Amino acid sequence: MVIPLTNQMLLIILSYVNRINKVPKESGQAGPTWAYLLFKGNIVAIDFSIEAQGVAVITINRPEARNALDQQHYDLLSDAWRTVRDDDNIKVAIITGAGNQAFCAGADLKTFLAAPPSLAALMRTQDSQLLNRGLEIWKPVVAAVNGYCVGGGMTLLLATDIRVSAEHARFGLSEVQRGAFPANGGTQRISQQLPHAIAMEILLIGDQFDAQTASRWGLVNQVVASQDVMPAARAYALRLAANAPLAVQAAKELAVRSRDVDLATGLRMEQLFLRLLQDSNDIKEGAAAFSEKRPPQFQGQ
């Protein structure tokens, strides 16, 4: 007897495969995995792999639609982000898009307009959390922007830490030109990360701008040729992965939380976090490596 596979069954199977398709933690590297499901006869894909030195690579794989995200892709992307958060083998993540035309064009407007969430679903604030909506990931995230980075793609970018852009990439928050506004942190982070006048121009007018302008405004760290985007992103990721994981995550959390607390509270949090790290194996390894003039071998412990 042939039992038809539902989407939920496929997700359960793939979740199990992802768990067993990993080598022991002491090896420091996990094997490649792919997350996908069948939806109305089509393959819906978010590619996920863990490379050397604990670098995870997430690829939004829908190039025929400029890597736009419908609900199925959002759900899989949420699964990928939770894996980054929870897997101690992972030290840093790279997020990119398939092909060379788009990083991510944001939400798929056809499905977004056709299926607004119910009021009951709106109350479930912990469902399908994302990097840019509710999910706390203190491991550093590098964006490899290989083309259009607009709408929800740009709100995703704003939730990353280090950003490499292709020379031909285009940026923008154009939702107001479509009758909506950029959610998932778009209205919140743009004004935190850019001067007010620039942020309001991007947010309220909605025009696109090029990679050189993004660099001049401080929205991206580096602009490179198209073929150099992933190598440059990996170079950043390896430098991040070489540092002490607990210290890197503590520094990121303190910096992000500083936006919501007063200076006195932030200074006190620094003292407490530093005291915790003083008992870690990593800080002992860092001191020993410095004394012995060798590269440190941090374990995140």
Same-domain status, 151 and 191: yes
Q: Which domain holds residue 64?
A: 7-241
pTM for the structure as a whole: 0.83
Residue 300 in domain: no
Residue 24 maps to a domain: yes
Residue 297 lies in a domain: no
Could you list the pLDDT tens digit for every one of the 301 residues in the chain?
Answer: 433 444 444 444 444 444 434 433 333 444 445 454 433 344 558 899 999 999 999 999 989 889 988 888 888 888 999 999 999 999 999 999 999 999 999 877 777 666 777 788 777 777 777 887 888 999 999 999 999 999 999 999 999 999 999 999 999 999 899 888 888 888 999 999 999 999 999 999 999 999 999 999 999 999 999 999 999 999 999 999 999 999 999 999 999 999 999 999 999 999 999 999 999 999 999 999 898 999 999 988 8
Same domain for 254 and 129, yes or no, is no
In this structure, the answer to whether residues 131 and 267 fall within a common structural domain is no
Q: Is residue 210 assigned to a domain?
A: yes
Number of domains composing the chain: 2
Q: Are residues 190 and 249 in the same domain?
A: no
Instruction: Residue 254: give its domain's CATH number.
Output: 1.10.12
CA distances from residue 233 to 1, 29, 147, 174, 294 in whole angstroms, order as listed: 48, 19, 14, 26, 25
Task: Answer yes or no: is 1 within a domain.
Answer: no
Using CA atoms, how far apart are residues 221 and 164, in angstroms rounded to an integer? 6
Q: Which helix (H) or strand (E) holds 58?
A: strand 55-61
Q: Is residue 2 part of a domain?
A: no
Q: Find tokens 């500083």 and name the residue.
A: 258
Q: Residues 183, 269: one domain?
A: no
- Of 241, 256, 281, the one marking the end of a domain is 241
Q: Are 33 and 48 in contact (CB under 8 A)?
A: yes
Strand partners, 172: 150
Last residue of one domain, picked from the residues 198, 213, 241:
241
* Domain CATH number, residue 98: 3.90.226.10
Residues 272, 193, single domain; the answer is no
Say if strands 33-39 and 42-51 run parallel, antiparallel, or are unpaired: antiparallel
Same domain, 251 and 284: yes
CA atoms within 13 A on the CB side of 268: 5
Asked if residue 15 and residue 131 are part of one domain, the reply reads yes
Question: Do 129 and 266 reside in the same domain of the chain?
Answer: no
CB-facing half-sphere around the CA of 45: CA atoms within 13 A: 15
Do 221 and 87 lie in one domain? The reply is: yes
The H-assigned helical ranges of the chain are: 7-20, 71-86, 109-114, 119-122, 152-158, 186-193, 196-205, 211-216, 229-241, 245-257, 263-277, 281-292
The verdict on 13 and 113 lying in the same domain is: yes
Residues 51 and 88 grouped into a single domain: yes
Is residue 19 situated within a structural domain?
Answer: yes
